[in-house]
């Protein structure tokens, strides 16, 4: 029998080829560690019963066992039918009244950013005794949301303390994210990042039914985020870099008059490229397609080679393009009289052709020139875009979440991002930097990319410790039910009655109980 060889020949395992083999010797009594740090093993029913096959007192093999489970917790009562000796054994410790394994499963599912129903299905497929979805949501509501809130608040306090110590005016990047349409509850989140450290300082979650359109949601998110910064930080907001939404620009002009508002290049370049591609598809304008990449590169060059605030120079550089495209390389403007390049051979545009006229119109358009004067030369919001894909891991757009679930997952994404945004390039055993080569389809070319070091998950350890502490001390926070927060302004918004909103919210939560 299998279990026979298991008991007699443990050496058998060492002859099995496996990457996962680890061996260890332990002398009893072993030192005790907190439940979240203890290792857990997957034990099969048949293997477990072997441990209860004999009476510890009289050695008889005639035993009666009573098995009781609470989720992942198992207790076995062993009764000897010969000498009536009773022995009780538990598979895991308790944290106050909760089996530790049950709370830790809920914590692991949420903190890893897994979707509970999927994770619990994995256990069900394995026929592993596990908690129900109801229990998961109870743990989440009673303990885990609060654990995330506490840990995130502590991290924020630490970040603001470090910023105050530095004493420099803040350089912020802001961007909004809307979830996909079609969900019954529609959220928008707004993120403010410290562009020096690339760390998320605050995240605000807005429900569309609070404010209406998604543009209004973004503006409300920004207003709440700035309000939060103001309440927690006395430093001046020196610069803020965003994309070029008109409503956002207006709000910043009116509410942050001391702050320099700059635009992220990538967002402007994206809009420009779209216009150029559309033009290149028109008849007699195919030549524009050959110029698209150069024009977009020129936009980056104009901004990144010009010091911030030199609006005339950056505009002069940009407008020189209109001459350059027609093979004219000097006499551009006072700020930027001539091109900086050497001799070039290209397919120049012919004046007064359709392509020339239409392309000039795009390049010299007033609104574009206004945007170009406000391009941010140094600080961009690319890391915010990257953060949005981290959010997609923790809160995938196909999954629907209640308000607190969504908020907790946003904070998890921020904790993950902040811990890992500063990690450097991966190195091999000899300490050399690791690169990977990416081959581009169709182009027969390749690019070399630095491989990032692996992520760390210290925040998960901290969150789990906090969850265990809250459970141990029976701490709950009723305020977490009093959400979503009230609007920063009530003008023009079809604001819900707060009482009704809370009532509706509680009713929705009770479905999960």
Q: Which residues bind Zn ion (CB under 5 A)?
A: 55, 57-58, 60, 80, 82-83, 85, 324, 329, 339
Using the minimum distance from each CB to Zn ion, give the nearer residue, 209 or 323. 323
Q: How far is the CB of 55 from Zn ion (least distance, A)?
A: 3
* 35 in Cβ contact with 90 (< 8 Å): no
Say how far apart CA 403 and CA 399 lie, in whole Å: 13
Residues 6+ apart with CB under 8 A from 194: 159, 163, 170, 171, 172, 201
Q: How far is the CB of 402 from Zn ion (least distance, A)?
A: 53
The label of the residue with tokens 């054994």 reads 89
For 376-389, b where at least 16 C-beta lie within 10 A, e where not — what string?
A: bbebbbebbeebee
Using the minimum distance from each CB to Zn ion, give the nearer residue, 80 or 130. 80
Angle subtended at Cα 65 by Cα 61 and Cα 66, rounded to the nearest 5 degrees: 175
The label of the residue with tokens 């120079």 reads 313
* 498 in Cβ contact with 486 (< 8 Å): yes
Q: How far is the CB of 317 from Zn ion (least distance, A)?
A: 11
Say how far apart CA 153 and CA 463 lie, in whole Å: 12
Q: How far is the CB of 340 from Zn ion (least distance, A)?
A: 8
Using the minimum distance from each CB to Zn ion, give the nearer residue, 193 or 295. 295
* 143 in Cβ contact with 469 (< 8 Å): no
Q: For residue 270, what is the enclosing H or E element?
A: helix 265-280
Using the minimum distance from each CB to Zn ion, give the nearer residue, 194 or 315. 315
Q: How far is the CB of 303 from Zn ion (least distance, A)?
A: 18
* 401 in Cβ contact with 409 (< 8 Å): yes
Using the minimum distance from each CB to Zn ion, give the nearer residue, 79 or 483. 79
Closest CA to 453 of 417, 418, 425: 425
| CA atoms within 13 A of residue 492's CA, in its CB half-sphere | 6
Using the minimum distance from each CB to Zn ion, give the nearer residue, 56 or 126. 56
Q: Following DSSP, what letter does each residue of 194-226 receive, concatenated?
A: ETTTTEEEEEEEEEHHHHSSHHHHHHHHHHHHH
Using the minimum distance from each CB to Zn ion, give the nearer residue, 228 or 301. 301
The two tokens of residue 272 are 């420009």
Q: How many CB atoms lie within 10 A of CB 106?
A: 26
Q: How far is the CB of 325 from Zn ion (least distance, A)?
A: 9
The values of phi and psi at residue 73, to 5°, are -85, 135
* 101 in Cβ contact with 72 (< 8 Å): yes
Q: How far is the CB of 341 from Zn ion (least distance, A)?
A: 6
* 184 in Cβ contact with 166 (< 8 Å): no
Using the minimum distance from each CB to Zn ion, give the nearer residue, 207 or 320. 320
Q: Under DSSP, is residue 451 helix (H, G, I), strand (E, B) or coil?
A: coil
Using the minimum distance from each CB to Zn ion, give the nearer residue, 82 or 386. 82
Q: How far is the CB of 301 from Zn ion (least distance, A)?
A: 12
Using the minimum distance from each CB to Zn ion, give the nearer residue, 67 or 82. 82
The two tokens of residue 195 are 């562009």
Q: How far is the CB of 486 from Zn ion (least distance, A)?
A: 56
DSSP-H helix ranges across 328-402: 354-363, 366-373, 382-394
Using the minimum distance from each CB to Zn ion, give the nearer residue, 62 or 196. 62
Say how far apart CA 375 and CA 307 lie, in whole Å: 10
Q: Under DSSP, is residue 89 helix (H, G, I), strand (E, B) or coil?
A: strand
Q: How far is the CB of 313 from Zn ion (least distance, A)?
A: 16
* 241 in Cβ contact with 195 (< 8 Å): yes
Using the minimum distance from each CB to Zn ion, give the nearer residue, 218 or 315. 315
Angle subtended at Cα 64 by Cα 59 and Cα 67, rounded to the nearest 5 degrees: 125
Using the minimum distance from each CB to Zn ion, give the nearer residue, 84 or 432. 84
Say how far apart CA 239 and CA 227 lie, in whole Å: 16
């Amino acid at each position: 029998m299998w279990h026979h060889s298991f008991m007699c020949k443990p050496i058998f395992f060492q002859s099995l080829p496996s990457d996962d083999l680890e061996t260890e010797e332990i002398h009893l009594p072993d030192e005790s560690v907190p439940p979240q740090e203890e290792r857990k093993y997957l034990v099969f029913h048949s293997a477990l019963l072997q441990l209860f096959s004999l009476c510890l007192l009289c050695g008889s093999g005639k035993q009666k066992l009573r098995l009781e489970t609470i989720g992942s917790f198992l207790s076995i009562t062993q009764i000897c039918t010969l000498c009536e000796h009773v022995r009780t054994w538990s598979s895991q410790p308790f944290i106050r009244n909760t089996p530790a394994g049950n709370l830790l499963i809920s914590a692991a599912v949420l903190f890893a950013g897994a979707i509970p129903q999927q994770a619990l299905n994995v256990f069900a497929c394995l026929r592993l005794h596990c908690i129900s979805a109801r229990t998961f949501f109870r743990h989440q509501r009673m303990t885990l949301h609060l654990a995330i809130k506490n840990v995130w608040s502590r991290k924020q306090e630490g970040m603001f303390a470090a910023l105050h110590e530095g004493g420099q005016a803040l350089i912020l990047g802001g961007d909004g994210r809307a979830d996909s349409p079609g969900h019954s509850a529609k959220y928008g989140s707004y993120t403010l990042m410290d562009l020096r450290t690339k760390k998320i300082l605050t995240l605000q979650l807005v429900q569309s039914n609070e404010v209406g359109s998604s543009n209004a949601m973004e503006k409300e998110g920004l207003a709440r985020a700035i309000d939060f910064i103001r309440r927690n930080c006395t430093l001046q907001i020196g610069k803020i870099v965003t994309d070029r939404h008109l409503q956002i620009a207006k709000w910043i002009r009116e509410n942050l008059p001391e702050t320099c508002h700059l635009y992220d290049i990538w967002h402007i370049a994206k809009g420009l490229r779209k216009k150029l591609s559309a033009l290149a598809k028109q008849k007699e304008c195919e030549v524009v397609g050959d110029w698209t990449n150069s024009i977009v590169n020129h936009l980056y060059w104009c901004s990144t080679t010009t010091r911030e605030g030199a609006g005339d120079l950056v505009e002069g550089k940009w407008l020189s393009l209109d001459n350059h495209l027609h093979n004219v390389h000097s006499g551009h403007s006072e700020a930027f009289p001539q091109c900086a390049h050497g001799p070039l051979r290209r397919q120049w545009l012919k004046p007064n052709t359709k392509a020339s006229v239409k392309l000039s119109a795009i390049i010299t358009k007033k609104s574009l020139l206004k945007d170009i004067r406000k391009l941010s030369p140094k600080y961009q919001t690319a890391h915010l875009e990257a953060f949005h894909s981290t959010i997609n891991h923790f809160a995938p757009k196909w999954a629907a979440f209640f308000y607190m679930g969504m908020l907790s997952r946003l904070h998890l994404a921020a904790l993950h991002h902040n811990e890992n945004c500063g990690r450097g390039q991966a190195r091999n055993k000899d300490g050399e930097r690791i690169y990977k080569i990416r081959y581009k389809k169709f182009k027969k070319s390749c690019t070399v990319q630095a491989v990032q070091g692996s992520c760390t998950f210290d925040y998960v350890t901290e969150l789990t410790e906090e969850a265990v502490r809250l459970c141990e001390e029976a701490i709950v926070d009723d305020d977490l039910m009093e959400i979503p927060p009230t609007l920063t302004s009530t003008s023009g918004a079809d604001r819900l009655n707060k009482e009704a909103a809370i009532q509706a919210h509680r009713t929705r939560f009770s479905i999960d109980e």
